[in-house]
Amino acid sequence: MKRAIAGAVYVMDNFSIPNQVKIGQTAGSVLERARTLSRTSAVATPFRVLFYYDVSDVAVGECLVHRSLRCRRVRHGREFFWVTKDELGDLQDLMTVMLTSVADDPKPKEVQRDDLFGEESVVWLEDPSALPYVRESVIHHVHRQSRPRWQPGRMIGYTTQGPGPSSEHGRFTRRVFWLKPYDRSEDPHGPHYRDCAPTEAVAPASIVLGKRGTRLDR
């Protein structure tokens, strides 16, 4: 008998695959699972977690939901199902019933989603490798790709967003990496940040797509 593995049964969608959802399971983070699928899939846009259920046995939970939706399966052996946006509420109701045997209190949960998830690239205007830190700011921009205007300091780099819907009132969540004239790299012996760092400071080596940089100790 296989050992039951606790985890989550999730529902995802993708901007490039309209009217379909992916229903699968993971014993880890559902957001990390979405990132992995987005990196390894041939689909042009990233997967988005719509909701998920915590269950005591991911294999059984996934099987129960898949069986109940077999008439909507896009293709045998794949985890994609025909479900429109208007039908997501009905899907939640169905999954809540189907997962009662593997969840004490089956309720759909939403991911505390990071809007950086759709990032496509980091554009460096200067080589950051020799810098002790850069300041990281999150902005909401009308364009997904173009260089944003930035007045608070010298821009070192910025991120672009890939194809997909906007995330904040018709704007795209972007990051800007920058420095002020009195930061440590600009004024190594100055009184401000010679032995410390500002609150926005992150390690340049920690900057990756879809995730905020690692904050430095002040």
Rounded average pLDDT over 20-40: 89
pLDDT exceeds 90 at position 41? no
Report the residue count for the chain.
218
Are 188 and 138 part of one and the same domain?
yes
Q: State the Cα–Cα distance between residues 22 and 82, nearest whole angstrom.
A: 9
Query: 158-196 pLDDT, tens per residue?
Result: 999 887 666 646 788 899 999 999 999 999 888 888 888
DSSP three-state, residue 123:
strand
Are 77 and 43 part of one and the same domain?
yes
CB burial readout 40-75, b (16+ within 10 A) else e = eeeeebbbbbbbbbbbebbbbbbebbbeebeeebee
Q: Please answer whether residues 182 and 190 qualify as being in contact, where contact means their C-beta atoms are separated by less than 8 angstroms.
A: yes
Q: What is the pLDDT of residue 115?
A: 65
Q: Is residue 174 part of a domain?
A: yes
Are 97 and 11 part of one and the same domain?
yes
pLDDT band at 131 (very low <50, low <70, confident <90, very high): very high
Q: Is residue 2 part of a domain?
A: no
Are 135 and 180 part of one and the same domain?
yes
Q: What is the pLDDT of residue 29?
A: 87
Task: Look at residues 74, 102, 130 and tell me which one is the last residue of a structural domain.
Answer: 102
Query: 198-216 pLDDT, tens per residue?
Result: 989 999 999 998 888 998 8
Task: Look at residues 102, 129, 150 and tell me which one is the last residue of a structural domain.
Answer: 102
Question: pTM of the prediction?
Answer: 0.60
Rounded average pLDDT over 138-145: 89
pLDDT exceeds 90 at position 40? no
Q: Which of these, 211, 213, 212, 214, lies nearest to 39 by C-alpha position?
A: 211
Task: Look at residues 102, 131, 151 and tell me which one is the last residue of a structural domain.
Answer: 102
User: How crowded is residue 37: how many other Cβ atoms within 10 Å of its Cβ?
Assistant: 18
Are 16 and 93 part of one and the same domain?
yes
User: How crowded is residue 132: how many other Cβ atoms within 10 Å of its Cβ?
Assistant: 14
Are 63 and 130 part of one and the same domain?
no
Q: Is residue 23 part of a domain?
A: yes
Rounded average pLDDT over 130-153: 92
Strand order in the sheet with 20-26: 47-55, 7-14, 20-26, 80-82
Are 14 and 84 part of one and the same domain?
yes
Structure tokens belonging to residue 94: 């169905």
Are 84 and 155 part of one and the same domain?
no
pLDDT exceeds 90 at position 116? no
Are 67 and 141 part of one and the same domain?
no
Q: State the Cα–Cα distance between residues 173 and 114, nearest whole angstrom.
A: 10
User: How many domains, the chain?
Assistant: 2
Percent of the chain's residues with pLDDT above 70: 93
Domain containing 174 equals: 115-206
Rounded average pLDDT over 113-129: 84
Q: What is the pLDDT of residue 109?
A: 87
Are 176 and 146 part of one and the same domain?
yes
